[in-house]
Amino acid sequence: MVVPLEMGWRHLLFENWPVDPAVMNAHLPEGLEPDVYDGSAWLSVVPFTNVAVRPRGLPASLGVELPELNLRTYVSRDGVPSVYFFSLDAQGLASVLGARVFHHLPYYYARITLEVADGRIQFSSRRRHPGARPVHFEGTYWPTGEPFAAPEDPFAAFLVERYRFYTEAQDGSIRYTDVAHHPWTLYPATADVETNTLFAAHGFPEPDADPVYYYSPGLDVVASRSSRSEPSGASAPADEST
């Protein structure tokens, strides 16, 4: 069994596009449905860095840093609003392998840099995972305007106030992990994204609409063990967290 994890999420950009729910549904595994806002499903690219990633209970000084780039959408299962990850590109090779083997997450090894200068975050990622489709992301982003509590804004809350995420494991099973953290503080944001090939790598057409941006300086998180998601009403097996 794998122990829960503690970590910090820092310098996050939430880059969000509306997508036809039928298009999104075609990309989701059976049993998960697109969650919609204003009649659209939403596809999000999220560059950020993890800090102090370690098993729960260990001091933060023993944790590792893990820059990361996610492609995700929003789903509902059994009435629980959740996130579904298509991919998670990350810098640490050992961490990527561990996340794939023990947490059933679709991590891909990438070379990533994140630099903060003059209030702006410069983020660069190139996927180097053997056998995977290449992905290249280059962009700079920064907060604008005043901070606000995400639960007070309906659309922002739809995007970020979710405390469960789903993935599809290599054996085809659906796995979920619950996360615990304080509500998000967000800023309106601006981004200058020079390159983003995540959509093509995962079979999505380039969105026609302009993205909606939010920035967060981050928060601290506790993530549960990965568990197998059983059909609605089914009893979970004794070893569901392995």
| CATH number assigned to the domain comprising residue 173 | 2.40.400.10
- Is the predicted pLDDT of residue 94 greater than 60, yes or no? no
Per residue in 28-85, pLDDT (tens digit) is 999 899 999 999 999 999 999 999 999 899 999 999 899 999 999 999 998 899 999 9
242 in any annotated domain: no
- Is the predicted pLDDT of residue 242 greater than 50, yes or no? no
| Reported confidence tier of residue 99, pLDDT bands at 50, 70, 90 | low
Which range of residues forms the domain containing residue 38? 5-228
Domain count for the chain = 1
pLDDT at 170: 76
238 in any annotated domain: no
56 in any annotated domain: yes
240 in any annotated domain: no
Measured CA to CA, the distance from residue 7 to residue 29 in angstroms comes to 28
Quote helix, strand, coil % in the chain, to nearest 5.
15, 50, 35
110 in any annotated domain: yes
195 in any annotated domain: yes
Per residue in 143-162, pLDDT (tens digit) is 999 999 999 999 999 999 99
Q: Which token pair is 68?
A: 């990361």
Contact between residue 12 and residue 215 where contact means Cβ atoms under 8 Å apart: yes
Q: In the chain, how many H helices and how many E strands?
A: 4, 14
Q: What are the backbone angles phi and psi of residue 99, rounded to the nearest 5°? A: -65, -35
Contact between residue 179 and residue 173 where contact means Cβ atoms under 8 Å apart: no
Taking the mean position of all CA atoms in its chain, how far away is CA 193? 18
Taking the mean position of all CA atoms in its chain, how far away is CA 77? 17
Q: Quick one: average pLDDT of 118-126?
A: 97
What rounded mean pLDDT belongs to the chain?
Answer: 90
pTM of the model: 0.91
| Reported confidence tier of residue 172, pLDDT bands at 50, 70, 90 | confident
Contact between residue 4 and residue 102 where contact means Cβ atoms under 8 Å apart: no
236 in any annotated domain: no
- Is the predicted pLDDT of residue 9 greater than 90, yes or no? yes
179 in any annotated domain: yes
